[in-house]
Amino acid sequence: MERSLLPRHIGIIMDGNGRWAKKRLMPRTAGHVQGAKAFRKCLRHCADIGIECVTFYAFSTENWKRPDEEVGAIMKLFSEYLDEALGMDDKDIIMRFIGDRSRLSEKLREKMLRIEEDTAANINGTICCIAVNYGGRDDIVGAVQELIAEGYDWSDVTEDAISRHLDTRGLPDVDLIIRPSGEQRISNFLIWQAAYAEYVFMDVLWPDFTEKDLDFALEEYAKRNRRFGGV
Ligand code: IPE
Ligand code: IPE
Ligand code: MG
């Protein structure tokens, strides 16, 4: 596909793990295991086709409402992926994490920081941003708190200043949001950054999501006529 038709920044809401497992009479955690595999495949595909940035929604600020056992299983899978990423030497991926880390374990936080440092030099690579304990509203509140702490005058609080204080600072606004699983909502994902995003909702459950599904969403995106309020 022509480069100019590709989104610079893709956001993916990895949804449907629980339903995938339920359909197979398996525990919800089995769906998360399979979902983690789909994530690896999808990230590799994004890097192979040269996507500039992709953000994966892994755990929301609301997902703590789930049973402890499920939350624990998701955090364990995340930790396992971090171990794997620490050993990886993919020169075409920069890893970054967004979301409030303060509620994550010290161990997870250390690993996240190390991966960010280890991959920061891969400047021509795809930026893989993983959203963990992320909420769009929490992100905006955090940005406003920082502005106040930095002593911003009210008249300096601009859209640009807020953007520069969000977790996604330095990244382009999200162009395309893909949500599998059949749900058609944003669920507190990049709400500020998605002001002019295109949406592709798909019926496939996340654990079944393949490279072909991503290509389908990209083709769909390429057909959209983005106007940004103009004509
Ligand atoms: C997405 O799958 C994973 C997380 C939210 C962590 P779900 O667990 O929400 O799966 P469904 O929506 O119940 O099928
Ligand atoms: C959104 O999925 C969060 C992630 C995929 C991490 P949810 O399953 O939590 O969203 P709702 O509850 O269906 O809106
Ligand atoms: Mg869900």
Residue-wise pLDDT for 10-69, tens only, equals: 999 999 999 999 999 999 999 999 999 999 999 999 999 999 999 999 999 999 999 999
Looking at the chain, the whole-number percentage of residues with pLDDT higher than 90 is: 98
Flag whether 180 is in a domain.
yes
pTM of this prediction? 0.98
Question: Whole-number mean pLDDT of the chain?
Answer: 98
How far, in Å, from the CA of 158 to the mean position of ligand 3? 34
Collapsed DSSP state (helix, strand, coil) of residue 140: helix
**Domain containing 90 — which CATH number?**
3.40.1180.10
Residue 39: give the domain boundaries: 12-135+171-223
Band (pLDDT 50/70/90 cuts) for residue 2 is confident
What per-residue confidence (pLDDT) applies to 3? 87
**Rounded CA separation 209/54 (Å):** 15
Flag whether 119 is in a domain.
yes
15 noted as active-site residue: yes
Task: Decide if pLDDT at 129 tops 90.
Answer: yes
Task: Decide if pLDDT at 164 tops 90.
Answer: yes
How far, in Å, from the CA of 188 to the mean position of ligand 2? 9
What per-residue confidence (pLDDT) applies to 162? 98
Domain count, the chain: 1
- When pLDDT is averaged across residues 129-135 and rounded to a whole number, the result is 98
Residue 75 Ramachandran class (φ > 0 left, ψ -120 to 50 alpha, else beta):
alpha
How far, in Å, from the CA of 183 to the mean position of ligand 2? 9
203 noted as active-site residue: no
- When pLDDT is averaged across residues 162-176 and rounded to a whole number, the result is 98
Flag whether 152 is in a domain.
no
Minimum CA distance residue for ligand 2 atom 10: 187
Flag whether 229 is in a domain.
no
Q: Is the CB of 12 under 6 A from ligand 1?
A: no
Sequence letter at residue 18: G
198-201 and 126-134 beta bridge pairing: unpaired
